Amino acid sequence: MTIFLFSIFSLLFSLLHNSLPVHSFPTSSKLEERTFIISVNHNAKPSIFLTHYHWYQSSLNSLTSNPPSKQVLHTYDTVFHGFSAHLTNYEANLLSKQSHILSLIPEQVRSLHTTRSPLFLGLETTSLNTSSLLEESDFGSDLVIGVIDTGIWPEHQSFNDRNLNAIPSKWRGSCPSDFPCNRKIVGAKLFSEGYEATNGRMNASSEFRSPRDSDGHGTHTASIAAGRYVFPADTLGYAKGVAAGMAPKARLAVYKVCWTSGCYDSDILKAFDEAVKDGVDVISLSVGGVVVPYYLDSIAIAAFRAVQNGVFVSASAGNGGPGGSSVTNVAPWVTTVGAGSIDRDFPAEVVLGNGRRIPGVSVYSGPGLEPGKLYPLVYAGNRESGDGGGGGEGYSASLCLDGSLDPILVRGKIVLCDRGINSRVAKGEVVKEAGGIGMIIANAVFDGEGLVADCHVVPATSVGSANGDIIRKYISNKSKKLSTPTATIVFRGTRIGIRPAPVVAAFSARGPNPETPEILKPDLIAPGLNILASWTERVGPSGLITDRRKAKFNILSGTSMACPHVSGLAALLKAAHPDWSPAAVRSALMTTAYTLDNQGGIMKDESTGNESTVMDIGAGHVHPQKAMDPGLIYDLTTYDYIDFLCNSNYTTSNIELIAPKKANCRGAKRAGHVGNLNYPSLSYVFVQYGKHKMSSHSIRIATNVGDPDSVYRVKIIPPTGTNVTVEPEQLSFRRVGQKLNFLVRVQVEAMKLSAGSSSTISGAIIWSDGKHSVTSPIVVTMQEPL
């Protein structure tokens, strides 16, 4: 399910920046209704009310003298204090004036960001050679991963509880009486009040009013994080082998918050509230929306409180790549995960009538094209190929939108469709209904050369932007010569050992961080392209309602798939190092990440073929084995994050929405600037303002988690044209847990830049004791103001 409600996002973004804290709403839209998340001074509850719920409901009752009054949707008491309700702007304005109301946050509607990976990551085990991370963590058996998503298909083999020990005694969660939980799935809850407040009561024919997954996305992500070993596993005959999650013995708690029209903030916040209360160790969140200030972002607020309770939060970076500043879930207490490839793909090449072969990818299994036969080839965007029997314009036809193709002109032909608007598999359905015999999907220029394999319902393949141009030119040239362009598609099955790998997936969202450019995001990347994992029995592998095929596993792509890889790895690390904080776990993953592919070169950007940058990969690609023993970590506490928020020039009331009762900025600004947060990466932003030379500095605190007596020496790889120094150049530790400070100073000279433009360069600092290499990327951004 991929739902982009751009108009709603734009409206919410405008409201978020113009009306909070809420004291007034636009008078022109007083009767417009939406859901609000209401922050309350919960300590102010009058004793006359038995519970906070009764107090909150009374607050709503006071808004009108005409029953029935508005109803409380959710109450929050763990990661947030307050409630949510569906209100008009007029009612919200009245409510905001009540003395115990701190703020009203308009709800965002979020979208989902949507195996060989254990072997690719070095986690595969045999009876003779067991991976030390899996062994040391007992495969994560005492850890609980909370998956906030579309639910789960509990009967799947990946979630069996054979040979699992009893559920950890610390667990406080529960399951509905009619839901088949076990020692693997230890918790299951659903939250739909926010969704239904906007959309009305759900349609039982298309949704399960239970934690059961009718979409497939949640089942897929849950099994990536913690699926059991299953053999054989494949999708329509592709990717045959053993399927397993990152932490095969970890327990799963599922919180269903995503429905046909999206994932609603009020429900997501309630899921966080329940997950922390239940006792999860890790939260995996593969959803996201627009970037707003942290105190207006319910996910950032909930994640802060979760981290404050020792819960590691992993979130997907988003699928807005390859464009810059597309990364989401950017709060520094969240581990933000981009997507890379593994060394496996599914080639399906186009053979043109002139003999030229065009590479593509596909997961298609069904009635095929006759071997050796060439079929007529048309471009859906050509008017002679059909403006649309359904009355569509040429643009609609080029995208193969519903009803846009003329059956007379496409019947029996292979149709070239442009990527965009509707899903890639939906285009195949349109072609099939119009009588087309096959389909080629060509990337738009923005998508570049990045390819995603799909389970199509018609013989089909996807090609890159440049190759799409080649095919269009072939069609156009043939048409001018009055001869028939022809083509066929040859499906090559599964290919393993791809080089180079990994590459950065074209769709993976990129930095810089739109909210705080001094904090590098994404943090790192993990496998997210063409990932095999478990699937629901409710829908076919294409996800289309009309797809009657059944598959126990499916191949999907997205940062949604990358996020649970890191969630599962975090569970393994927390099991192996119970005393590590969420920040320590992230630090271990980041400082041991790698940036070279399996050919020894800098990882490539799939969309361009060029070398990737830190804005694409953050610290690099996750390396689980090295993360278990990182040598040094950069740890953080709640108070460090509060210092960061103070240095972000947030007001006390802003900060109290994120960290209630702890917002004391009086001593925080001694840290100087937001870049002084003890983060595993370093990012500096210089606005030139006509200056010739500029400098900045950051303090970092390294904690020894390696050998008791160890000496680390620094190696500096300065960004081109900068001078970087580190003081001291040597850190001598005498015990585990010892902390030592060092200072990083960066000096730069102004660049020639046009007004309003910027330039980013990067390097690294590496601390090494001869056994460990602790690497932190350094990013320098030069900006020329308008």
Active-site residues, by number, are 149, 217, 560
Instruction: Tell which residue, 571, 582, 576, 697, has the closest CA to residue 634.
Output: 582
- SS3 letters across 184-200: CEEEEEECCHHHHHHHC
Neighbours of 48 (CB within 10 A): 8
- SS3 letters across 273-320: HHHHHHCCCEEEECEECCCCCHHHCHHHHHHHHHHHCCCEEEEECCCC
Instruction: Tell which residue, 558, 633, 630, has the closest CA to residue 594.
Output: 630
Helical (H) or strand (E) element with 570: helix 559-576
Instruction: Tell which residue, 661, 677, 658, has the closest CA to residue 669.
Output: 677
Neighbours of 423 (CB within 10 A): 15
Amino acid at 47: S
| 512: preceding bond cis by omega (within 30 degrees) | yes
Neighbours of 769 (CB within 10 A): 20
Burial of 773 (0-12, 13-18, 19+ CB in 10 A): middle
| Total length of the chain | 786
Token digits for 457? 């319902």
Rounded CA separation 464/474 (Å): 15
Rounded CA separation 644/649 (Å): 9
Rounded CA separation 302/78 (Å): 9
Q: Any idea what the Cα angle at residue 269 is, between residues 576 and 274, rounded to 5°?
A: 55
CA distances from 192 to 79, 221, 520 (A): 19, 20, 34
